[in-house]
Amino acid sequence: MRLSVPSQTVDLQDPIFLAHRGGKLRTSTTVPLDSREDLSVAYTPGVARVCEAIAADESLARTHTWRSNVVAVVTDGTAVLGLGDIGPAASLPVMEGKAALFRQFADVDAVPICLDTKDPDEIVAAVAAIAPSFGGINLEDIAAPRCFDIEDRLKAMLDIPVFHDDQHGTAVVVLAALTNALRLQDRRAEDLTVTVVGAGAAGVAITKILTEAGVGDVVVCDSTGIIHEGRGRLNAVKARLAASTNRAGRRGDVTEALRGADVLVGVSGGSIPESALAGMAPDAIVFALANPTPEVDPEVAHRHAAIVATGRSDYPNQINNVLAFPGIFRGALDAGAPQITEAMKLAAAQAIADIAADDLAADRIVPSPLDPRVAPAVAAAVKAAS
């Protein structure tokens, strides 16, 4: 069911609306089109020779079309920012913005694709059908749990990278931030208990990457409480979480999940009471990433935690996906990689962490999203890991 957005008076002269008027993207040519000769080279008859060559050897599409540098940003509009299911048309400004970030930070061209269907089979079929025009697929703002199935099926079908940024981009930056928080505190990942509050797209991917990185134990909490083996009514994704997390067998609510925990990663959009934070271990680390309203107010979090991060740009330590996805795709495209592997994600996280390592402080555990060093470093690490 589509979200009902309250009616509002819109001032079309507001600077925000003026900036979006006409959209934020356009295409441009890379060859001259000033003469008959130019036209004959870029279009007919010259283009026919390139078409024939690609028909004989499809690998030439990578080097003689834009395919090697263009990504489709695909959504169904069901989980857009904190707005929820607002539909494909209303999601287009976000997808345009995503495409603009690709171009700005990694020199990657990107095309917004907003699909007017929520059916996973139709989404998979549509993306597979347009895939020959693209070098990679960035899935965006598709609600869980459908997003997991859609990504898995497309990865199995296609020979180009498929990457759901809400899952993996967030997870990569969380791991980078945690890496530097541990550097500051001289602690080891294997000694940690991490509580992830939220078992949607981001929460599942964060849990997976933290486990891959060697975190001692991860406890995942959804709206019902702690996910554990034997809990009823778990979907397939949560059942896999139950089998691979919560080694101590904890049960109960978020307060119990945080009791003695070293790290909180909030990706739920809900609210966590201060009394639950009070039960965390000394020198706790809190990443409250719901946007625009964190699960815990940062000032409250600081009463109980040594290091605090949010998803907002007006607080220190912003966990922002733009630190990850441009460089990850740049590296994958440059490598001609058919997929983005766990090793590539881990390499991306390490590259982000290393950029901030020389100037670490409790309020500087990740670089700025505007730091021009980030995307090239991530791209180089991802390409090497491929």
| CB distance 309 to 365 below 8 Å | yes
Q: Residues marked as binding? A: 140-141, 166, 291, 320
Q: What is the pLDDT of residue 285?
A: 98
- For CATH 3.40.50.720, the residue range(s) in the chain are 165-385
From first CA to last CA, the distance across the chain in angstroms is 40
3-state secondary structure 341-352: CHHHHHHHHHHH
Assign domain 165-385 to its CATH superfamily.
Answer: NAD(P)-binding Rossmann-like Domain (3.40.50.720)
Annotation says 98 is catalytic: yes
The CATH 3.40.50.10380 portion of the chain extends over 69-160
| CA dist list (Å): 320 to 290, 310, 337, 368 | 11, 9, 24, 9
Contact 207, 196 (CB under 8 A): yes
Q: How much is the pTM?
A: 0.93
Beta-ladder partners of 307:
285
Beta strands in 59-207 (DSSP E): 70-75, 109-114, 136-139, 162-164, 193-197
Residue 291: predicted pLDDT: 84
- 24 tagged catalytic: no
d(CA 137, CA 332): 11
Residue 1: what pLDDT?
A: 45
Residue 6's pLDDT band, with cuts at 50, 70 and 90, is low
Among the options 24, 98, 155, 315, which is catalytic?
A: 98
Q: Residue range 303-327: average pLDDT?
A: 95
Q: Which CATH superfamily is domain 69-160 in?
A: Malic enzyme, N-terminal domain (3.40.50.10380)
pLDDT, tens only, 152-203: 999 999 999 999 999 999 999 999 999 999 999 999 999 999 999 999 999 9
| Binding-site annotation: residue ranges for (S)-malate | 291, 320
- What one-letter code names the amino acid at 253? D
**What are the CA-CA distances from residue 271 to residues 83, 275, 296, 300 (Å)?**
17, 12, 6, 12
Give binding residues for a divalent metal cation as ranges.
Answer: 140-141, 166
